[in-house]
Amino acid sequence: MNPAERSYFVRSAANRLGFDHCGLARAQRLDEDARRLESWLTKGFQGSMRYMENHFDLRVDPGKLVPGARSVITLLLNYFPAQQQNDKAPQVSKYAYGQDYHDVIRPKLNAFLLELKEKFGEIQGRGFVDSAPVLERSWAQKAGLGWVGKNGNLINKQAGSFFFIATLITDLELEYDAPFAKDYCGTCTRCIDVCPTEAILPGKVIDGSKCISYFTIELKDALIPEAMKGKFDNWMFGCDACQDICPWNRFAKPQQQEAFTPIPEILHFSSNDWEELTEENFKKIFRDSPLKRAKYAGIRRNLRFLKER
């Protein structure tokens, strides 16, 4: 098979596995991204997320992750929910409404790679979903799937930004998509203006150490800094403020994955329900949920912080 025929099979396999979009890019070192990442780390925008400082060379060179890498396949999976929370209850980011996306996407990636190996022989490849040093959004842009908006999210012109991004790096030679060259954010600054903690800076730079998602998920300290009081806009786990206001998300369509069906308690819990939640019930209800990343103690801390505003 020639590269065009192989690429057709790759896209067909991705579609069969339920991915919404598939883009193909030539594997190469990301020199410009390396400079941006180095600057971002130097400024301390990673906060206490020290893992962001690790494996710098792996982040910018796919050949270090898969020797002989020729192609980077980027896959998008929609998570936009058909139903949303009562806006008076403590808010949970939409990506966390259903089952943990790692547990949903990893088996798909494994099945994807297996299907490619059955078709093309003993190719080398590794799949990643937010679990290794891969600059997913850069590869998605290089694969023609969209542009990186001012809020740092990948934006697809037809479908918005409510997508999980998965990456498969392989030594299979393919026919590549043209990079997405245009930035359709234009002069719009809605995401910058709406950010409650002013974490979105000019030049598509996100100060991760000021993001509500950082404080409510990544920060493991017992207390959230006093300076953030009154700035969380009722976000208990993550934050969608910059995505909710983005005009391109008017094109977002409800997702079709059963695993991402919202956990009923997330949709229907009141503030009192969250306050009265025991650790035993938390572990039972959210055992397969992204909320377990914050753990029960983290959720309790976040709820206390919202009450103190």
Q: Write out the chain's pLDDT in tens, 309 residues.
A: 899 999 999 999 999 999 999 999 999 987 666 566 656 566 565 555 555 545 556 667 888 889 999 999 999 999 999 999 988 899 999 999 999 999 999 999 999 999 999 999 989 999 998 766 568 889 999 999 999 999 999 999 999 999 999 999 999 999 999 999 999 999 999 999 999 999 998 888 888 888 999 999 988 887 898 999 999 999 999 999 999 999 999 999 999 999 999 999 999 999 999 999 999 999 999 999 999 999 999 999 999 999 876
Catalytic residue among 31, 57, 103, 130: 130
Domain ranges of the chain: 3-85+92-170, 190-241+266-307
Identify residue 82 by its one-letter amino acid code: A
Identity of the residue numbered 47: G
Identify whether 130 is a catalytic site residue: yes
Which pTM does this prediction carry? 0.91
